[in-house]
Amino acid sequence: MFASKDGATRDQRTEPAPEGRGEGGEERAALARLLAPRSVAVIGAGRDPRGAGHRVLRNLIDGGFAGPVYPVNPNADQVAGLTCHPSVTAVPGPVDLAVIAVPARYVLDVVRECADAGVAGLVVLTAGFAETGQGSAQRDLLKICRASGMRLVGPNCLGVINTAARLNATFLQGDPTPGRVAVMSQSGAVGAALLQRLPVSSFVSVGNKADVSGNDLLEYWADDDGTDVIALYLESFGNPRKFTRIARRITATKPILMVKSGRSGSGDRAVRSHTAAAATPDVAVDAMVAACGVIRLDSVQELQDAAKLLSTQPLPGGRRVAIVGNSGGPEAMAADACERRGLVVPELPRDLLEGRVSSSAALANPVDLTADADADEIRLAVETVAAADEVDAVLVVYTPPFGSGLERTRQAIAAAARTTGKTVLACVAGHDGLIDGRVPAYAYPEQAIAALARAAEYAEWRARPAELPEPVPGVDAEAARRVVRAELAVRSAGGWLSPEATADLLRCYGLNLVPSVAVGSADEAARAAALVGLPVVLKVTGPVHKSDVGGVRLGLASEDEVRLAYDDMEETIGEEMTGAVVQPMLPGGVEIIVGGLNYPAFGPLVMAGMGGVMADLLADRAFRVPPVSRAAASEMIASLRCAPLLHGYRGAAPAAVDDLLDQIVRVGRLLEDLPEVAELDLNPVIVTPDAATVVDFRVRVAPVDQPPA
Amino acid sequence: MFASKDGATRDQRTEPAPEGRGEGGEERAALARLLAPRSVAVIGAGRDPRGAGHRVLRNLIDGGFAGPVYPVNPNADQVAGLTCHPSVTAVPGPVDLAVIAVPARYVLDVVRECADAGVAGLVVLTAGFAETGQGSAQRDLLKICRASGMRLVGPNCLGVINTAARLNATFLQGDPTPGRVAVMSQSGAVGAALLQRLPVSSFVSVGNKADVSGNDLLEYWADDDGTDVIALYLESFGNPRKFTRIARRITATKPILMVKSGRSGSGDRAVRSHTAAAATPDVAVDAMVAACGVIRLDSVQELQDAAKLLSTQPLPGGRRVAIVGNSGGPEAMAADACERRGLVVPELPRDLLEGRVSSSAALANPVDLTADADADEIRLAVETVAAADEVDAVLVVYTPPFGSGLERTRQAIAAAARTTGKTVLACVAGHDGLIDGRVPAYAYPEQAIAALARAAEYAEWRARPAELPEPVPGVDAEAARRVVRAELAVRSAGGWLSPEATADLLRCYGLNLVPSVAVGSADEAARAAALVGLPVVLKVTGPVHKSDVGGVRLGLASEDEVRLAYDDMEETIGEEMTGAVVQPMLPGGVEIIVGGLNYPAFGPLVMAGMGGVMADLLADRAFRVPPVSRAAASEMIASLRCAPLLHGYRGAAPAAVDDLLDQIVRVGRLLEDLPEVAELDLNPVIVTPDAATVVDFRVRVAPVDQPPA
């Protein structure tokens, strides 16, 4: 099945080590000291039990942190039974982590003292920095940290947790459940919600992300033996291209689950005002997800549901699900949910269970053992279907209190799960949690199936062949750069390239442009038609929307027809017509759009979609972050609803899809090489059985800012 | 806004009283005695506290049922402190409801005794009837009930609850929460799950639905003052057309929420084996929902979430939502969810809250008061935004324990909600339930927003103009019936009508068929072309797929061209060509498919969709249950993604949409009048600026079974 480890899959590939800050030795070591400290100081630990500092101190003590914990408070002798120190410099030992909970106006002084005391890392809980417009205070804070080599989590955050180190340096109520999920949240409230239902290895509330970012944490958790699954709540990306690079490497061995808010205009408004974060266009986020195997979810609940499964059970070997239980209704709903989520509920052979379970049971799959089924019968049925070749995963549906009751049935499910290497999960009405610490249980069947579908998709991602960088022959990047620079030298703000410059640029990347002759009169048009070969297409040039003004004439079969068409156009369109181009008419093909965009905060995106007049209406489009491998281009095309048109629909000859993929790969390379290309449209690319030919095109260039660090 | 009660809306319309069984007086009164009994006998009440009968008895006693409760058990003197009676005939008083929990082999005898004793209604908990293949036992059971006038719930069910009557005649654990939602479930397990989170007026587990059906209960609850919302879990429809009729009447004043399982092939398999129910094609179910305002949901959780809102809060007056709370992350996610669900998060004027709440709050909407906000600030903000003209509903997002803590904040939310007539709901992380018994609270923002979107859609349904029956002029139903009967007289199994008969039939309903002349030779074709007017279309007839064999030639401009084209076709297609038809060529229009289907178990459906080669690929289609009013036809067309093509896309002249709607209405009328029409295809209907013309068509007829009672 697709999670097979045979062949060269993502699991086995080695990637070049990523570059950049936080990936080197020293800062990394500082981050490790922050997240797994040997000693902690809590600066601003007051006597008021409702204060954040006090609560951090309590959580550290109650959580059983093994190293020394130092309350720092110049106005108290003792807090929570520990002796206070007047400042961090007065602490009688080295401090790996200082948690800062003093009012905003004191933070910079306290941080300077931490630098003097040789503290390795800071968690600044205090709010009132960039999120309320105090950007300069945050910059000063960061400056001190950078100068001294301290790493900084926050400001404006809830703190950090590391269950392996018994470190709870947050001011949250309640104890975290130890487990194998590392959680990062850009919102305190969402972080708190995530903690409520997830078994965690680490938790970092990053707040304003002044220093330690999601990318830093991803790299840290990539090598953390205690972490099997990484869960992120994001409102913005600091460096999306770096995120992609790091995530692609990690998802080869550990799933990354992500909720990214700010999809909508208003959600976006909320996020911006909330954390002063730069918005990333949502389509770009989805394309990024597709490029690097990150599992994007729409809600915290879905994330919790998927993380619970991925951190406890083996990945499913395929999409085939057996549904076994004591209640037909929820089982039917689970089967419906499978269909919605792209999972398969195969009909099972009758003799698999016949004679082994009660005669009134339905055996086909879903297997409904009826409300009378006791725990032993459920265990037997689960073990039997799990062992069947037809099955990749088993969902056990149990409605209490029927049969043997909740507790005995939970034991039976746990026992059955231990007999198989396949994925087992449960739906137990009204009970959300873990059975035996390793079988995830969900209150509703739809939750279970949604989580399983995510796991199956991730397993497919893992099993895919690694996308190695592919050579793109026939590219003259240097010449292309000259075209772009020439334009920007003349117009520093950029703009649409002339048709000639555009054609030059695209040819540098080996794009297959239709022969096209610019003409300024009817006679020139007729001569050009003879040159490119009849029949031809005549297209107006000038500041008009060609198809709206009758500026495109197809299938002109003789020089006379061309001449007449030109005159006619001139008469209809009038002064706005600056001339026309003559192109050979391509035999009936499929119209595809290939395009590119470069979002300022994000980087390039390649688009492929259906062409023609229906394109606007149907938005049948796929996006990818370059580099776009041939395999990725193929996936883009396969995801289009118009894809069957390319493969010989209703007896037509199959189109030259390989040539189309080649053009998409080349566009990806162009966008990667030339960040000045802000917008690129090949519309349409006509794909005939013989070739994919770019018939119309335009390119806009814009000056490039320095990329973020 | 759209829930305004001005004008003639559904709320005010009166409908003809529905006909049929259970709608008349006597049986209805018997059902009322069953669901609101003055006395209950429990037959099969044993001493084993785990037995179903014993548990029903306990639930009746513990629930505080006011009338007499009679345990019937020939082998015991006393059960649960009550004196047993040897049989129901020995009970010392009239019995309104008898709950039967004896083994299957005794059920018929016991039921005969109930008939003798003058019992009004039965709830048969016992399994082992139609659901395990014992259909004849179930028929016998029903026969006794019908003969004696007893109504029957079950067999194979959990029992019934009526909280107003303090009647808990189920064997479920736990007490039901009294409220205003009536619940009907065709699955015991799903019923039990529904009860866990819903405040209920009544609950009926219908089991095998031998007698009392969903339709009976709908009618009962329509007039039940204690019920504001009706929630259904269905696996099958007994009489879908009757359901539609009843539901349409009820949804004018009370929302009906429905989960219908068996969407998928495997879900369907589960349902069939589970309750021996006839499957209804899922697309028909969706069309029915559209026709009668029932809110269909994909999961029990969504149903619970929506029912909780609809049974406690006023309907929203529109789609504009204010989001107010103490936690930006969940608020941003709520805003994203609004966008996904078609709700609007309008930007609020700055001066609405400025100066009234803390200066660090974000005021635009979502309104993020930050984690520091106390209960008073939240209350003030909620009251203020609820009073704003820009807002139809307010979602309060609170993450405990920040600010004033859970309890005080709940009180603040309740207090604010009391000051407004608008919809108020809450998202409180980790807390699902009701605040103050009237503000629904959800653990996740997506749950709250999904529920609110359902309420907004329902409010729009309620506010729509009533769809009064519309006259369809120029219909000769009698002549049409003769065409259909003539065909079935010759071929009793039915089949595709001849082109001539099809044209006759369609013309009886005033469908606008393109002039079409059948021809058998090139010369005939040329003459026909002159007759219908050049240019023409030539189409092959015979057992071939026209477009695949080159059997359609468009735009033939002269008689010679027609002659040549005919000869060419003959040569290419060969013997399979039986002739051709000549039709005038229509000036460029939009191709639409209009169709009809008659599902044996369900009734007719009208379809409208995009035509042409893309139709198969894109499945851009809308379905309705006839009668299809002009307004409904307009909605069908508006829901198509190709709809903009009809309205003058990119400067084209607008198509004759009114004519298209007229054709759809006529197809609906035809399908309603002629149940023998099993399948009907008008493909394409070409809609030009002047007319909607049916260019190609086919009709299949089939004999009709008697409709279900």
> CB distance from B115 to chain A under 8 Å?
no
Closest CB to A196: pick one of B191, B264, B430. B430
What confidence tens digit (pLDDT) does each residue in B506-559 have? 999 999 999 989 999 999 999 999 999 988 999 998 877 776 777 888 878 789
Phi, psi of B296 (to 5 degrees): -90, 135
Separation in Å, CA of A673 to nearest CA in chain B? 34
pLDDT band at A25 (very low <50, low <70, confident <90, very high): low
Which residues touch A225 (CB under 8 Å, ≥6 apart)? Answer: none
Q: What share of chain B is helix, strand, coil (3-state, %, to 5)?
A: 40, 20, 40
- Cβ–Cβ gap A185/B333 under 8 Å: no
Overall average pLDDT of the A591-612 stretch: 84
Phi, psi of A86 (to 5 degrees): -70, -30
pLDDT > 70? residue B396: yes
* Partners of residue B423 on adjacent β-strands: B393
- Cβ–Cβ gap B613/A649 under 8 Å: yes
Handedness of CA B164, B166, B170, B176 (dihedral sign): positive
Spell out the alpha helix ranges (H) of B466-619: 477-490, 499-508, 522-532, 559-573, 614-618
Which residues in chain A touch residue B49, judged by CB atoms under 8 angstroms apart? none
What confidence tens digit (pLDDT) does each residue in A224-271 have? 999 999 999 998 887 887 898 899 999 999 999 999 997 666 655 555
- Cβ–Cβ gap B329/A187 under 8 Å: yes
Q: What pLDDT does residue B86 have?
A: 96
User: What is the CB neighbour count within 10 angstroms for residue B405?
Assistant: 13
Overall average pLDDT of the A148-164 stretch: 95
| Interatomic CA distance for residues B374 and B379, integer angstroms | 9
pLDDT > 70? residue A549: yes
pLDDT > 50? residue B448: yes
- Cβ–Cβ gap B261/A336 under 8 Å: yes
How far CA A108 is from CA of A114, A118, A137, A241, B485, in Å, comes to 10, 15, 8, 32, 92
Nearest CA-CA partner of B327 in B283, B372, B291: B372
Q: What pLDDT does residue A368 have?
A: 93
| Residue from A157, A273, A645 to probe the interface with B (highest B Cβ count within 10 Å) | A273
How far CA A147 is from CA of A31, A113, A138, A155, B440, in Å, comes to 15, 13, 14, 17, 52
3-state secondary structure of A161: strand
Which residues touch A6 (CB under 8 Å, ≥6 apart)? Answer: none
Closest CB to A267: pick one of B190, B192, B336. B336
> CB distance from A327 to chain B under 8 Å?
yes
* Partners of residue A622 on adjacent β-strands: A608
Which residues in chain A touch residue B399, judged by CB atoms under 8 angstroms apart? 188-189, 192-193
Q: What share of chain A is helix, strand, coil (3-state, %, to 5)?
A: 40, 20, 40
For chain A, what is the mean pLDDT? 89
Nearest CA-CA partner of B206 in B291, B137, B125: B125
| Residue from B58, B125, B190, B266 to probe the interface with A (highest A Cβ count within 10 Å) | B266
SS3 sequence, B381-406?
HHHHHHHCCCCCEEEEEECCCCCCCH
Overall average pLDDT of the B609-634 stretch: 81
3-state secondary structure of B150: coil
How is domain A515-585 classified at the CATH fold level? Dna Ligase; domain 1 (3.30.1490)
Q: Could you tell me if A485 and A674 are in contact, meaning their C-beta atoms sit under 8 angstroms apart? A: no
Higher pLDDT, residue A80 or B203: B203
Residue-wise burial string across A434-453, b where 16 or more C-beta atoms lie within 10 A, e elsewhere: bbeeebbbbbbbbbbbbbbb
- Cβ–Cβ gap A618/B617 under 8 Å: no
- Cβ–Cβ gap B299/A365 under 8 Å: no
Overall average pLDDT of the B328-348 stretch: 94
Which residues in chain A touch residue B173, judged by CB atoms under 8 angstroms apart? 401
pLDDT > 70? residue A707: no
How far CA A153 is from CA of A45, A114, A148, in Å, comes to 18, 14, 15
Which residues in chain B touch residue A338, judged by CB atoms under 8 angstroms apart? 264, 266-267
pLDDT > 70? residue B4: no
User: In what order do the strands lie in the sheet containing B167-170?
Assistant: B167-170, B159-162, B199-205, B177-185, B229-234, B256-260, B295-297
| Residue from B264, B319, B338 to probe the interface with A (highest A Cβ count within 10 Å) | B264
**pTM for this model (two decimals):** 0.86
| Residue from A172, A259, A266, A347 to probe the interface with B (highest B Cβ count within 10 Å) | A266
> CB distance from B6 to chain A under 8 Å?
no
- Cβ–Cβ gap A301/B267 under 8 Å: no
For chain B, what is the mean pLDDT? 89
State the first-to-last Cα distance of chain A, in angstroms, to the nearest integer: 41
> CB distance from A301 to chain B under 8 Å?
yes
Extract the tokens encoding B706: 């008697």
- Cβ–Cβ gap B189/A340 under 8 Å: no
What confidence tens digit (pLDDT) does each residue in B74-92 have? 999 999 999 999 999 999 9
Give me the numbers of helices (H) and strands (E) for chain B, helices first please.
Answer: 21, 31
Lowest-confidence range among A333-347, B268-282, B442-456, B580-594? B268-282
The CATH code of the domain at B516-585 is 3.30.1490.20
The H or E element containing residue B700 is strand B697-701
> CB distance from B171 to chain A under 8 Å?
no
Q: What pLDDT does residue A419 have?
A: 95
CATH superfamily to which B25-310 belongs: Succinyl-CoA synthetase domains (3.40.50.261)
Q: What pLDDT does residue B615 have?
A: 61
Q: Could you tell me if A148 and A154 are in contact, meaning their C-beta atoms sit under 8 angstroms apart? A: no
| Interatomic CA distance for residues A114 and A121, integer angstroms | 9
- Cβ–Cβ gap A275/B328 under 8 Å: yes
> CB distance from B305 to chain A under 8 Å?
no
How is domain B321-463 classified at the CATH fold level? Rossmann fold (3.40.50)
Q: Could you tell me if B248 and B294 are in contact, meaning their C-beta atoms sit under 8 angstroms apart? A: no
The H or E element containing residue B605 is strand B603-610
> CB distance from A195 to chain B under 8 Å?
no
Q: What pLDDT does residue B268 have?
A: 55
- Cβ–Cβ gap A333/B617 under 8 Å: no
pLDDT > 80? residue B337: yes
Q: Could you tell me if A661 and A637 are in contact, meaning their C-beta atoms sit under 8 angstroms apart? A: yes
pLDDT > 80? residue A614: no
Kindly list the domain boundaries of chain B, sorted by start residue.
25-310, 321-463, 467-514+586-709, 516-585
pLDDT > 60? residue A22: no
Asked if the bond preceding B94 is cis, omega within 30° of 0, the reply is no
- Cβ–Cβ gap A444/B301 under 8 Å: yes
Higher pLDDT, residue B73 or B705: B73
Nearest CA-CA partner of A611 in A589, A628, A596: A589
> CB distance from A173 to chain B under 8 Å?
yes
| Interatomic CA distance for residues A115 and A121, integer angstroms | 9
Which residues touch B618 (CB under 8 Å, ≥6 apart)? Answer: A618, A641, B610, B641
**How many Cβ pairs closer than 8 A exist between chain A and B?**
270
- Cβ–Cβ gap A235/B613 under 8 Å: no
> CB distance from B693 to chain A under 8 Å?
no
Beta strands, E only, A339-456: 367-368, 393-398, 423-428, 433-435, 439-442
Handedness of CA B657, B662, B668, B671 (dihedral sign): negative
3-state secondary structure of A663: helix
pLDDT > 60? residue A20: no
Separation in Å, CA of B131 to nearest CA in chain A? 9
Q: What pLDDT does residue A464 have?
A: 84
> CB distance from B235 to chain A under 8 Å?
yes
Most confident listed range (A116-125, A460-469, B235-244): A116-125
Binding-face residues of B in 63-102 toward A, CB within 8 A: none
Are domains B25-310 and B321-463 of this chain identical in fold? yes
Which residues in chain A touch residue B368, judged by CB atoms under 8 angstroms apart? 270, 273-274
> CB distance from B205 to chain A under 8 Å?
no
Asked if the bond preceding B37 is cis, omega within 30° of 0, the reply is no
Q: What pLDDT does residue A6 have?
A: 41
> CB distance from A132 to chain B under 8 Å?
yes
Phi, psi of B595 (to 5 degrees): -145, 175
Report domain A467-514+588-709's class: alpha beta
How is domain B467-514+586-709 classified at the CATH fold level? D-amino Acid Aminotransferase; Chain A, domain 1 (3.30.470)
Q: Could you tell me if B369 and B378 are in contact, meaning their C-beta atoms sit under 8 angstroms apart? A: yes
Binding-face residues of B in 393-412 toward A, CB within 8 A: 399, 401-402
Overall average pLDDT of the B569-594 stretch: 89
| Interatomic CA distance for residues B201 and B176, integer angstroms | 9
SS3 sequence, B319-335?
CEEEEEECCHHHHHHHH
Calculate what percentage of chain A has a pLDDT beyond 70.
92
Q: What pLDDT does residue B269 have?
A: 56
* Partners of residue A561 on adjacent β-strands: none
Please report, as a single letter, which amino acid is at residue A184. M
Q: Could you tell me if A475 and A506 are in contact, meaning their C-beta atoms sit under 8 angstroms apart? A: no
Nearest residue of B to residue A133 by CA position?
Answer: B360
Residue with tokens 């069910």: B157
Closest CB to A264: pick one of B262, B299, B336. B336
What confidence tens digit (pLDDT) does each residue in A272-311 have? 444 333 345 677 788 888 788 999 999 999 999 999 999 9
Closest CB to B187: pick one of A327, A447, A641. A327
- Cβ–Cβ gap A332/B270 under 8 Å: yes
Nearest residue of B to residue A273 by CA position?
Answer: B362
> CB distance from B231 to chain A under 8 Å?
no
- Cβ–Cβ gap B446/A299 under 8 Å: yes
- Cβ–Cβ gap A263/B336 under 8 Å: yes
Separation in Å, CA of B638 to nearest CA in chain A? 13
> CB distance from B704 to chain A under 8 Å?
no
Closest CB to B173: pick one of A233, A274, A401. A401
What confidence tens digit (pLDDT) does each residue in A444-457 have? 999 999 999 999 99
> CB distance from B275 to chain A under 8 Å?
yes
Give Cα A271 to chain centroid, integer Å: 18
